[in-house]
Homo-oligomer: A and B are copies of this chain.
Amino acid sequence: MFSFELIAQSIESRARAGVIRTSHGVVETPVFMPVGTRGSVKSVSPEELLAAGARIILGNTYHLYLRPGCDVISRFAGLHQFMHWDGPILTDSGGFQVFSLAKLAKISEEGVTFQSHLDGSSHLLTPGKVIDIQNCLGADIIMCLDDCIQYPATREESLAALEITTKWAQRCKQAWQETKNGRNALFGIVQGGMFRDLRERSAEELMKIDFPGYAVGGLSVGEPAEVMLEMADDTLPNLPETKPRYIMGVGTPENLIELVALGTDMFDCVLPTRNARNGQVFTQQGTLNICNAKYRHDTGPLEPDCACYTCQNYSRAYLRHLYMAKELLAYRLNTLHNVYFFLNLMRQVREAIVQDEFDRFRKQFYKRKSTKRRSSHEKKS
């Protein structure tokens, strides 16, 4: 069971609001998906994620395949029961991690051979195997194996990766249809490096194969934000309007706003969770680092008017103390705030789209940030 319905379309931009229906529940789009790499969104519980507004989370096939392994997760009714998360789950194909984490990745039409970053053991991921693993994990949305190239890449490299991505996508579609259980949806992934025409060609080839949804991969890999937005701007209109569009691994609150304006429905990124563990906290007026000595006596919350558990119950002084003392609770409280910030931003974005006020919301978003910058500057001068 999977469907996507468009609810509203902004007049001033390509921003849109929709609803994804899965067998584990409904997801309103645009949506941000917190990342639970190894079967846990680091430091927080499923109940806390739900309370923060999370409706769908991401799991990483590469990590879960290597540890604990499908033999373990198959004892449970998939990842949902294993990790005690009842809502929708999207799993990636593992391709990105193979190319970024594993050693000696070797690519052929058959698939990709790599050595585990954990114990050096050798593995072969084929399109068919990637579908099998994701079926075992029981995710609601699963992804095709794709060839993720580094940035910068030449036109030749980008073309070669595109071509193999298309071939793998065909075989993934076939494997998915053969093992179809009616409970998950398979998304294709657009590649093509930073070349407009290659991105266009990749999108066309994937649409011919026909998927329930489309992702744009290979962005936010080191290129300037303008190039990333340009690629998205070119690629997104080529994808079918009636299907969800997912930009993988992006990004900052600004990136999210701009990509929504270009018609993106789904996002995932480790930014809110990873940065929280490094003491960086997101607020409407920009980021703050909780280590900063100026918060030592600060009895106020991370962000005034924030409704998250952390801001409702703890001060900056306490959070700074926990962080300086390396207390485990520090990572959790910072994470809860950051995750809430991202989820709440997307809720506001969606509401603005539905009310046809997205453009105004976007302007206000940047105004709040520039107010902060001006006032910080004034203090210094």
A contact set with B: CB distance below 8 Å: 38-40, 42-45, 67-68, 71-72, 75-76, 82-84, 296-297, 299, 313-315, 317-318, 320-322, 324-325, 327-329, 331-332
Assembly CA distance A325 to B315 (angstroms): 31
Q: Are B318 and A39 in contact (CB under 8 A)?
A: yes
Given A45-B332, A72-B297, output 8 extra A-B contacts at Cβ < 8 Å.
Answer: A40-B322, A42-B328, A43-B328, A68-B320, A72-B296, A72-B317, A82-B317, A83-B318
Q: Are B75 and A325 in contact (CB under 8 A)?
A: no
Assembly CA distance A314 to B38 (angstroms): 15
Q: Are A44 and B297 in contact (CB under 8 A)?
A: no
Q: Are A42 and B327 in contact (CB under 8 A)?
A: yes
Q: Are A331 and B329 in contact (CB under 8 A)?
A: no
Which 10 A-B pairs give the minimum distances between C-beta atoms? A43-B328, A68-B321, A84-B313, A40-B329, A40-B327, A38-B325, A75-B299, A75-B297, A82-B318, A42-B328
Q: A67-B325, A321-B67 are in contact. Are A76 and B299 (CB under 8 A)?
A: yes
How close is A204's CB to chain B, nearest CB, in angstroms? 40
Inter-chain contacts of A321 with B (CB < 8 A): 38-39, 67-68, 72, 82
Considering the complex, give the chain B residue whose CB is closest to the CB of A296: B72
Inter-chain contacts of A83 with B (CB < 8 A): 318
Q: Are A317 and B42 in contact (CB under 8 A)?
A: no
Inter-chain contacts of A324 with B (CB < 8 A): 67-68
Assembly CA distance A76 to B319 (angstroms): 14
Inter-chain contacts of A328 with B (CB < 8 A): 40, 42-43, 328, 331-332
Assembly CA distance A329 to B328 (angstroms): 10
How close is A37's CB to chain B, nearest CB, in angstroms? 9
Q: Are A68 and B329 in contact (CB under 8 A)?
A: no
Q: Are B315 and A76 in contact (CB under 8 A)?
A: yes
10 inter-chain pairs at a CB distance below 8 angstroms, sorted by A residue, are: A38-B322, A39-B327, A40-B322, A42-B328, A43-B332, A45-B332, A68-B296, A68-B320, A76-B317, A82-B317
Considering the complex, give the chain B residue whose CB is closest to the CB of A335: B328
Considering the complex, give the chain B residue whose CB is closest to the CB of A317: B72
Considering the complex, give the chain B residue whose CB is closest to the CB of A277: B328
Q: Are A71 and B39 in contact (CB under 8 A)?
A: no
A40, A67, A82, A84: residue with the most chain B Cβ atoms closer than 10 Å? A40
Inter-chain contacts of A72 with B (CB < 8 A): 296-297, 317, 321
Inter-chain contacts of A329 with B (CB < 8 A): 40, 42-45
Q: Are B42 and A314 in contact (CB under 8 A)?
A: no
How close is A314's CB to chain B, nearest CB, in angstroms? 6
Inter-chain contacts of A84 with B (CB < 8 A): 313-314, 318
Assembly CA distance A40 to B333 (angstroms): 12
Assembly CA distance A71 to B293 (angstroms): 14
